[in-house]
Amino acid sequence: MANRYVVIMAGGRGERFWPQSRLAMPKHLLPIVGEQALLVQTIERVLPMVPAARVLIITNRQQAPAIRALCPALPAENIIAEPVGRDTAAAVGLALVLVRRRDPEATFCMLPADHVIHDAVLFRADLERAFAAAEREPLLVTLGIKPTEPATGFGYIHRGAARAGAESVFNVIRFVEKPTREVAQGYLATREYFWNAGMFFWCVPVVAAAFAQHVPELWADLGRLDAALAAGQPLDAALEAIYPTLKKISVDYALIEKATNVAVLPAHFDWDDVGAWPAVTRHYPADADGNVARGLAVVEQAAGNLVVSTADHLVAVLGVKDLIVVHTPDATLVCPKDKAQEIKALLKRCESAEELKRFL
């Protein structure tokens, strides 16, 4: 069996979880759900099946020090800092270069750092099936999440026929970007669509061939990076020189939506991408009026609120409904739940004011 690697993408900003999530300490480095940082939870889910020496993290320079402190079990060289963000195709290409230098026949998966999954046993069972499918045939394999509602914030995967001789492995007809609610309701009715959770599995030669075929200019630049490393240039120096020139495109647009050898496996584990503050309430008990409180918080004559205090500071709410209240040592957020997706707009206001930039 080929060596298996897990590559975790951990470079996001988690802006919708401001003010707790910041550029240098974003969502995946925080215990948004649970007692440990989401990244630590992700690593712990995979370590029983892949050793720490074969777990890599692609992050950025602002977050790398915090990640090294959070993940002492990983070799320092396995935490790779992009000098600039160039979207997910570049991150996958960087992972491909690094994994191939260790084992040109390896299989590796790309996982997000910040998803909430409670059933680690089922998760590992699905990872085993996906790895095996990628090793059995020259496929680009993804896991599909069975939709529970007509969500408009996710991409969808339209599954086709089952592949011969492969249990619960389906061809992919197409990928669909975030649909309208009406369209999403139609998808659910067919039972032929999955949510795209951004989890991918492939053998090194197969994904290398996909890069060469579908994004040859990006593949050529990745070849320059590989040649620099082969010549003995330190990784940080090679990335500084070459990485900012890489084509900026998502892996979905670059490879997944173009390739004809994509397969999907239905996932069996629970899953939540926890995309904004209201999602947190799905993972904690509420009081009789639907309020969820974390930290030093008191709620009275109120309903449907999420109240979070991350400091030694009491937050009290009285007579309000459907609010998000988040207090940190240096900033406090108060907004209606139905405005949670607009926190990014609030941060743009902070970016435009010099005296507020330190709160980002």
Mean pLDDT of 152-161: 94
Look-up of token digits 């009290």: 316
**Domain ranges within the chain, ordered by starting residue:** 4-266, 277-359
Q: Taking 80 as the threshold, does the pLDDT of residue 166 lie above it?
A: no
**pLDDT more than 90, % of the chain:** 94
Question: Per residue in 200-251, pLDDT tens?
Answer: 999 999 999 999 999 999 999 999 999 999 999 999 999 999 999 999 999 9
**Interior CA angle at 194 toward 191 and 195, to 5°?**
140
Give residue 165's pLDDT band: very low, low, confident or very high (50, 70, 90). confident
Q: What local confidence, expressed as pLDDT, does residue 12 receive? A: 87
- The secondary structure of the chain, three-state, reads CCCEEEEEECCCCCHHHCCCCCCCCCHHHCCCCCCCCHHHHHHHHHCCCCCHHHEEEEEECCCHHHHHHHCCCCCHHHEEEECCCCHHHHHHHHHHHHHHHHCCCCEEEEEECCCECCCHHHHHHHHHHHHHHHHHCCCEEEEEECCCCCCCCCCEEEEEEECCCCCCCEEEEEEECCCCHHHHHHHHHHCCEEEEEEEEEEEHHHHHHHHHHHCHHHHHHHHHHHHHHHCCCCHHHHHHHHHHHCCCCCHHHHHHCCCCCEEEEECCCCCECCCCHHHHHHHCCCCCCCCEEECCEEEECCECCEEEECCCCCEEEECCECEEEEECCCCEEEEEHHHHHHHHHHHHHHHCCHHHHHHC
Question: Per residue in 282-301, pLDDT tens?
Answer: 999 999 999 999 999 999 99
Give residue 167's pLDDT band: very low, low, confident or very high (50, 70, 90). confident
pTM: 0.95
Question: For residues 63 and 61, what is the distance between their CA atoms, to the nearest angstrom?
Answer: 6
Q: Taking 80 as the threshold, does the pLDDT of residue 100 lie above it?
A: yes
Question: For residues 309 and 293, what is the distance between their CA atoms, to the nearest angstrom?
Answer: 8
Cβ(66)–Cβ(29) under 8 Å? yes
Q: What local confidence, expressed as pLDDT, does residue 88 receive? A: 97
Domain 4-266 in this protein, CATH class = alpha beta
Mean pLDDT of 132-156: 95
Q: What local confidence, expressed as pLDDT, does residue 1 receive? A: 56
Question: Per residue in 199-214, pLDDT tens?
Answer: 999 999 999 999 999 9
Q: Taking 70 as the threshold, does the pLDDT of residue 70 lie above it?
A: yes
